[in-house]
Amino acid sequence: MTSRPQIPFNLPTRAATELAYVAQAFESGHTSASGEFARRAAQIIADDTGAAEVLMTTSCTSALELSGMLMDFQPGETVIVPSFTFSASALAFAREGARLIFCDIEPETLGLDPNHVAELLDDSVRAVVPVHYAGIGARMEALDEVLARRPDVAVIEDNAHGLFGTLNGRPLGGLGALATQSFHETKNFSCGEGGALVINDESYLDRARVLYDKGTNRRAFFLGQVDKYSWRDTGSSFGLSDLLAAGLTAQLEERKAIQGRRQEIFEQYAALLGPPADELGFTIPVVPAGREPAWHMFYLLLPDNPTRDRLLAELRENGIQATFHYVPLHSSKGGHRFAARETDCPVSTDVSGRLIRLPFHNHLSDGDVDRVADTVLEVLR
């Protein structure tokens, strides 16, 4: 075994003012949801996405659940979700009573394939959930065309990877009627567990505020719109504690530096691994025209599954924690259980078997990135 230090796959982002902000939240006495730091974090996200309002939540999963509640699904209604995504993108809607239609991804961005959406779209569909995989904008231009004649179908962006990325100059997270963010330990900005619901379509605003606040119109009360508040509707306790929002606010305020460093790491990997890729039979992420990525990850697509697994094993032996990604949902146990019908997602299956994610986080040094890239090339040669 090697005596060289381990290179972890992920280490949470930290900001210089993080601990001071957390202490300030403690001392303020307001440690529950809807505090001053939650307001500041939400404002930064709203300013970037152009949202009507941003509600800070306990996770991206809970923000997806909140958006599912807003859909008010009737029996037989469905949601189109990519097969190549995290369980939560689908689970949240299944939990709110929708059946799922699993859609394939397209091979360049690894985002939802608009042609497959067009094939799958029927009268049962109430929402479509694009994911901007790796923080690279999905084919939203084509998706908008497919959905142009279906104003009854809501686009809910699962933007867990995409905050501060853009597509044709428009912010990821600002493209759907609703969008959801994740501040889980593994994301670009993190407070352990956290998330946000980005409300772009104002028609959801009033009800979203009620569902967010345990089914009460407490928010309207604080906005001076009513003189007392009471129970109105379904909902849950979705709010992010201000202790967590404090650390997150510190990171969001340093977004330029954090995203800048991630871009450098991405570009260093691309410069080292791009040129020999063709000859060795693998590919690096494609950034189609008009996209500024959110620099969430760096992945490789190997020629076949055995090569991927061998590379994973050999990187681990060399102290480098690379990893695979999603097992396609359409072929999972939960997917079978909640699917409206069986669908074919061959690209998802193929990509899942060939994809490897390299270490990617703000604590990597240039030397670490060199070492990872060198080891990848040694193994493949």
Ligand X SMILES: *Cc1c(COP(=O)(O)O)cnc(C)c1O
Cα-only R_g, the chain? 21
Whole-number Å distance between alpha carbons of 63 and 263:
27
Comparing CB distances to ligand X, the nearer of 345 and 380 is 345
Cα atoms in the 13 Å half-sphere on the side-chain side of 280: 20
If binding is defined by CB under 6 A, does position 61 make contact with ligand X?
Answer: yes
* Phi, psi torsion values for 51, nearest 5 degrees: -65, 155
Whole-number Å distance between alpha carbons of 54 and 34:
11
Choose which of 49, 59, 216, 362 interacts with ligand X (CB under 6 A). Answer: 59
Whole-number Å distance between alpha carbons of 95 and 81:
14
If binding is defined by CB under 6 A, does position 161 make contact with ligand X?
Answer: yes
Comparing CB distances to ligand X, the nearer of 158 and 213 is 158
Residues 6+ apart with CB under 8 A from 97: 73, 75, 77
Choose which of 120, 131, 196, 322 interacts with ligand X (CB under 6 A). Answer: 131
DSSP states of 50-81 as a string? T-SEEEEES-HHHHHHHHHHHH-PPTT-EEEE
Choose which of 158, 254, 292, 350 interacts with ligand X (CB under 6 A). Answer: 158
Comparing CB distances to ligand X, the nearer of 171 and 216 is 171
Supply the minimum distance, in Å, between the C-beta of residue 161 and ligand X.
Answer: 6
Whole-number Å distance between alpha carbons of 82 and 194:
23
Stretch that binds ligand X, among 17-25, 120-128, 157-165, 238-246 (CB under 6 A): 157-165
Cα atoms in the 13 Å half-sphere on the side-chain side of 211: 21
If binding is defined by CB under 6 A, does position 160 make contact with ligand X?
Answer: yes
Stretch that binds ligand X, among 54-62, 117-125, 149-157, 244-252 (CB under 6 A): 54-62
**Which residue type, as a one-letter code, is found at position 120?**
L
DSSP H helices, 121-254, are 140-147, 205-212, 218-222, 242-253
Supply the minimum distance, in Å, between the C-beta of residue 331 and ligand X.
Answer: 18
If binding is defined by CB under 6 A, does position 188 make contact with ligand X?
Answer: no
If binding is defined by CB under 6 A, does position 184 make contact with ligand X?
Answer: yes
If binding is defined by CB under 6 A, does position 139 make contact with ligand X?
Answer: no
Supply the minimum distance, in Å, between the C-beta of residue 278 and ligand X.
Answer: 29
Contact mark string toward ligand X, 76..95, x via CB under 6 A: ---------xx-xx------
Contact mark string toward ligand X, 320..339, x via CB under 6 A: --------------------
DSSP states of 104-154 as a string? PBPTTT-SB-HHHHHHH--TTEEEE--B-GGG---SHHHHHHHHTT-TTSE
Stretch that binds ligand X, among 12-20, 56-64, 105-113, 262-270 (CB under 6 A): 56-64
Quickly tell me which residue has 């003012």 as its tokens. Answer: 17
If binding is defined by CB under 6 A, does position 22 make contact with ligand X?
Answer: no
**Which residue type, as a one-letter code, is found at position 34?**
S
The interface with ligand X within residues 195-224 (CB under 6 A) comprises 195
Supply the minimum distance, in Å, between the C-beta of residue 8 and ligand X.
Answer: 18
Stretch that binds ligand X, among 142-150, 156-164, 256-264, 345-353 (CB under 6 A): 156-164
The two tokens of residue 132 are 């901007």
If binding is defined by CB under 6 A, does position 182 make contact with ligand X?
Answer: yes
If binding is defined by CB under 6 A, does position 348 make contact with ligand X?
Answer: no
Q: Which residues bind ligand X (CB under 6 A)?
A: 59-61, 85-86, 88-89, 131, 158, 160-161, 182, 184, 195
